[in-house]
Chain A
Amino acid sequence: MFDPVDDVIDRIARHLRRPVQIDPALDGRVMREITALPTPGGATALGKAWRWLRRPRQLTLTPLGGLAVAAAIAVVVLLARMNFRSPAPPQAESRAFQFVLVAPRATRISLVGDFNDWDATRTPMLRAGSEALWTVVVPLTPGRYHYAFLVDGSRWLADPSAPVARDDDYGAPSSVLTVGRGGDS
């Protein structure tokens, strides 16, 4: 479906992606500045040793040596599995969570959050019974989710019945929901 927002954003992005030429004289200025500085990491014995340890190297093995290494790895893996076999992690089960908002004057509301990539088209809310009550049910696996309500496509509302996101540097209000292993929040 044609989305006028995407069309405008695509045009802007294409425009901004055009190559930009920076004055090549900048290279000379950078080089003049760094030649007065010491070699990065220093030329100390410790620095050299650290670089030597981190540098990747090619090892050569004879086929016989390769087989011996493979056999040793297989033995270590088998022993580790025999001694430390842990039970398979339980599958994260999703539980249904109902989100409710009272908004008598709203004409449309979407639930947006981490669980739907903040996509306003994916989780529209529906009027339930009374005209003022909007609701939607979302299955959630255990985890911590930020979310908000998008009212009439432009107004962001935190959930009045949930904690406000403390690390809220989003520029818009949002709430936090923590879903525990047993589905508690």
Chain B
Amino acid sequence: MGTSDAALVRRVQTGDTGAYAGLVARYRDRLGRYALHMLGNREDAEEVLQDAFVRAYRSLARCDDPERFGAWLYGILVNRCRTAGARAARRARRFVHDPAALETAPLAGPDARAEWDDTVRWALARLPSESREAFLLKHVEELEYEDMARLTGAGVSALKMRVKRAREQLQAMLKEAERV
């Protein structure tokens, strides 16, 4: 069994910087998945992920419960994704806002799996960022609403509403895509 998060955190706090590599390797892919789905492209996701790890390191003294390092790190990543998403939206570079372009966007891929992947990413990118965030945390990261509330700062009711609307919108978009 590997070294626990808490043990690695304590080693870093006492000056063993190298121990942080264990934490980065442990959480890289899982957090990367959230960032990738949230931001819609790998380049931005990796940039945000790196930023989150560095920020977490700098604030490690404020990690009150090293046993819950993963949840604490998640909170930092969620915030970094929000900031990056807002920046990207301002640049209007990452997400397509032209409804006509969206309607004519190609959905077909080389095989059924790629086609489905394209469709899901297309639909996810069209969700409002708050709904996308709530949907990913609930249905992909499989968090409880109380944990989501701690991570996002939103109320449980608000989160339930966002998830519900995200589900409805995704279902409508998928139906629309199937008709194309």
Contact = CB atoms under 8 A, between A and B. Distances in A.
Contacts of B64: 54
A146 B25 CA distance: 42
Nearest to A5: B171
A13 B165 contact: no
A31 B136 CA distance: 28
A12 interface: yes
Given A19-B33, A30-B53, A40-B12, A118 B160 contact: yes
Interface string A44-64: 000100010011000000000
A17 interface: yes
B157 A34 contact: no
A165 to B, nearest CB: 9
Contact of A33 (B36, B54, B123): B54
B167 A9 contact: yes
B17 A34 contact: yes
A35 interface: yes
Interface of B: 10, 12-15, 17-18, 20-21, 24-25, 28-29, 32-33, 36-37, 45-46, 49-50, 53-54, 57-61, 64, 116-117, 120, 123-124, 128, 130-131, 136, 139-140, 142, 154-158, 160-162, 164-165, 167-168, 170-171, 174
A21 B24 contact: no
Contact of B161 (A23, A26, A40, A172): A172
Given A20-B33, A27-B24, 19 more contacts: A9-B170, A13-B140, A16-B140, A20-B29, A21-B32, A22-B29, A22-B45, A22-B46, A26-B49, A30-B24, A31-B21, A31-B24, A34-B58, A37-B58, A40-B60, A41-B60, A51-B10, A170-B162, A171-B165
B171 A40 contact: no
A88 interface: no
B61 A41 contact: yes
B15 to A, nearest CB: 5
Contact of B120 (A12, A33, A39, A154): A12
B13 A39 contact: yes
